[in-house]
Structure 1
Amino acid sequence: MHLSETKTHLLDQVRDYHHAAQPPRPFIPGQTPIWPSGAVLDETDRTALVEAALEMRIAAGVSSRKFESAFARKMQRRKAHLTNSGSSANLLAVSALTSHVLGEQRLLPGDEVITVAAGFPTTVNPILQNGLVPVFVDVDLSTYNTTAERVQQAIGPRTRAIIIAHALGNPFPVTEIAALATEHDLFLIEDNCDAVGSTYDGKLTGTFGDFTTVSFYPAHHLTMGEGGCVLTASLELARIVESLRDWGRDCWCEPGESDKCLKRFKYQMGTLPAGYDHKYIFSHVGYNLKTTDIQAALGLTQLAKLDDFCAARRSNWRRLRAELDGLPWLILPEPTPRSDPSWFGFVLTVAPDAPFSRAELVSFLEDRQIGTRRLFAGNLTRQPAYIDQPHRVVGDLTNSDIITEHTFWVGVYPGLTEEMIDYIASSIREFVKARG
């Protein structure tokens, strides 16, 4: 059998295996787990992984470059650089702003970066890791995002940047905050890890700032198993990110390429001897944060399904919101005005004066196999990792504290059926009516 025929035969067997390994299973209320998030994988995904493995593409290569190009077009940015995680994407985006290449615009230790107190640690960690100072502001309940007014009040003489996540897929008022960034000559990073496909003022989130970051962890809109991406419209910023991601090297040749600039042995940098091999000249203190072609192969098949995934998230969220509307003692989520979120989850806050606690409601749902999650770290300033870290707080963090004490979320990801969504809603209604 010819090699290509052998490959075709193997991939046909992979498809058969997929259907045998994942037969349809009925939903049994109270027994079938309803996860709050998860990857939705079909035969095309499994086949892509196996095909990439057959080709032995074990490092970043053709699939990685193809995905970066396709994803940049989809997200309406000029450049996209794959990373090994969304957390690394945030690290690269913030670190790039400290690059010497930016001259007087670069961020220096002690400069301030505005962010929100209620969120995920890896939005804030790169600020501290680069010797910068996070400035925390509060958020609104129901949208779980901050406001332009809060950000405006937080701008001080050492403020140089803003990094905020679109909370659970719900856009923050990014038009207004981007305008503030322009007015005050600040960099803006959109943490878009939970919000791929969301729009604000009719524009995709991630198209307003200097950088946008994305995660491909299984919980997110697309998955590569692990992985992330940094996107930008600036070729200068993209080049810095590439250098930082690829060990800090100055060379831009892809692995396996040499002398694209036609002067590989003609550079003189630092105090190196003239003609030092450009492939081994390092212009940044960088990392190795690349991904692999096998992951990118999965990303390409996932990307083809992104619009359907986003539509399913929106549909599940609307169904759950309609079924819970008017229920007492719960603060229901609201989309930010002028936005169309591609929701990551359905967030609920138990009113502080409710006759039951979040813990009691969460326990009831978990006993019914309905998975729940906190709104990540709650008020980060109360977490042990951050208590002694340098930071500044502007205004009170009342709502961030309420989130810490009273908020959780349930899933709306595309793997959930209408039957599952209805069971989540009926379970919440049953609990509230019995306790209230």
Structure 2
Amino acid sequence: MDTKTQILELVRKYDQESSQRTSPFQPGITPILPSGAVLNEDDRMALVEAALEMRIAAGVSARRFERLLARTLNTRKAHFTNSGSSANLLALASLTSPQLGDARLRPGDEVITVAAGFPTTVNPIVQNGLTPVFVDIELGTYNTTVERIAAAIGPRTRAIMIAHALGNPYQVQEVAELAASHDLYLVEDNCDAVGSTYKGRLTGGFGDLSTVSFYPAHHITTGEGGCVLTDNLVLARIVESLRDWGRDCWCEPGESDTCHKRFSYQLGNLPYGYDHKYIFSHVGYNLKAGDMQAALGLSQLTRVMEFGAARRENWRRLREGLDGLPWFLLPSATPDSDPSWFGFVLTLTEDAPFGRKDVVEFLESRKIGTRLLFAGNLARHPAYLDRPYRISEDLANSDIVTDRTFWVGVYPGITQEMTDYMTESLREFVRLYR
């Protein structure tokens, strides 16, 4: 047995021994996290093998991960990035590329987005000199509607960029049709919804571009990481350029002259024959991710269906266990959707005799982790108070989310025993006020 095989066998043994040391669940003592990575011995071995081979930059594993991810999510191209936030930045920035000609987004153009969400859906709009147009959401699904988006379209509106709320798809097919009818781009922030479907189709395949996050809280993880996916080969090439310093060359790392005319280009004001590897067609970034992250992603990708099934089962168990609970609005799936849930969201009714702080502190005291619905109404945050934006109609439900909404976890590391304990704890809390 060679040394590498011996090391990997020891890694497998170490993982098995570590698993045996895991304590059984103890209500009120064992923390129930709202989210987290679920890792096994194959994941550990994938990381160690990549480390042994010193694959420290983007290489063969990154390219394979991109191909398999694109195939899994039914898109043509995927570009692996260092985070989901970077993926959102690249997706939106690609629409400003001069290579799109008159179809490019320009400073001052408007992009419709949701007020109640996470800032990384909105920040790329602001960072590219565009104007966010905030629309409200519906309580229960926590998504906006086609009607709200249609009402927000103005003479300078050029794109729509919206996330599927906590894994629950919005009416993305209808939104895509609306975008097409108004000649608008659609960017699907699919970071919380990998494996979700709408009308039988996977989310992430309806828009011009979509994004995924592989942060440990998400459906599969690469540690840090994200991805931009698209069926549009022009946009895919622009995303790749922006991710890779803005260079015009498309050679893979370590390769040269795949176009067979490396010294035969004349672009910009450069002399003829300037090395194509050092010609830059965009003001870009370095937002690549490495092979160690990709190796973990390849291992995790084999379990994406398993993880989605666990999320659905945990959500269903909570929904049934809490049915009829007074003073709480329970979540609901968008009609015609099958969400791969990111969390189980609860909103206090207006007549509740307690506040969100009361119930959250009660749950946290029992080691039940909670999270707010991210930023609530983003228009109320200090980061955006001096930034240009437009509000379509009012944001009444986004304000309710800011004041009265939170969520608990459904990620695959949560067991049935844990979901039952969460249900019992919420019912016990309600009994205190009855």
Displacement after TM superposition at 1:35 (Å) = 0.1
The answer to whether 1:354 aligns with 2:352 is: yes
Question: Moved runs in structure 1, 4+ residues, more than 6 A?
Answer: none
Displacement after TM superposition at 1:298 (Å) = 0.1
Report the equivalent of 1:38.
Answer: 36
Amino acid at match of 2:86: S
Match of 1:156 among 151, 154, 157: 154
The answer to whether 1:115 aligns with 2:113 is: yes
Match of 1:22 among 19, 23, 27: 19
Alignment of 1:91-102 (within 5 A): 91-102=89-100
Report the equivalent of 2:76.
Answer: 78
Deviations 1:149-198 (A, max 9, x none): 00000000000000000000000111111110000000000000000000
Displacement after TM superposition at 1:432 (Å) = 1.1
Report the equivalent of 2:137.
Answer: 139
Deviations 1:27-77 (A, max 9, x none): 000000000000000000000000000000000000000000000000000
Report the equivalent of 2:413.
Answer: 415
Displacement after TM superposition at 1:22 (Å) = 2.9
Percent same amino acid among aligned pairs? 71
Report the equivalent of 1:282.
Answer: 280
* 5+ residue gaps, structure 2: none
Take 2:133 and 2:431, find their aligned partners in 1: how far apart are those partners? 41
Amino acid at match of 2:229: L
The answer to whether 1:249 aligns with 2:250 is: no
* TM-score (normalizing by structure 2): 0.99
Report the equivalent of 1:13.
Answer: 10
Report the equivalent of 1:57.
Answer: 55
Match of 1:266 among 248, 264, 286: 264
Report the equivalent of 1:341.
Answer: 339
Take 1:432 and 1:175, find their aligned partners in 2: how far apart are those partners? 39
Take 2:217 and 2:189, find their aligned partners in 1: how far apart are those partners? 15
Match of 1:90 among 88, 91, 96: 88
Report the equivalent of 2:213.
Answer: 215
Take 1:319 and 1:174, find their aligned partners in 2: how far apart are those partners? 27
Report the equivalent of 1:106.
Answer: 104
Take 2:351 and 2:139, find their aligned partners in 1: how far apart are those partners? 15
What's the Cα RMSD here? 0.6
Amino acid at match of 2:305: D
Displacement after TM superposition at 1:352 (Å) = 2.1
Displacement after TM superposition at 1:233 (Å) = 0.3
Take 1:209 and 1:96, find their aligned partners in 2: how far apart are those partners? 14
Report the equivalent of 2:311.
Answer: 313
Amino acid at match of 2:169: P
Match of 2:46 among 38, 41, 48: 48
Displacement after TM superposition at 1:25 (Å) = 1.9
* TM-score (normalizing by structure 1): 0.99
Take 1:353 and 1:194, find their aligned partners in 2: how far apart are those partners? 31
Take 1:222 and 1:29, find their aligned partners in 2: how far apart are those partners? 27
Take 1:266 and 1:432, find their aligned partners in 2: how far apart are those partners? 74
Report the equivalent of 2:425.
Answer: 427
Amino acid at match of 1:94: L
Displacement after TM superposition at 1:19 (Å) = 1.6
Displacement after TM superposition at 1:6 (Å) = 0.9
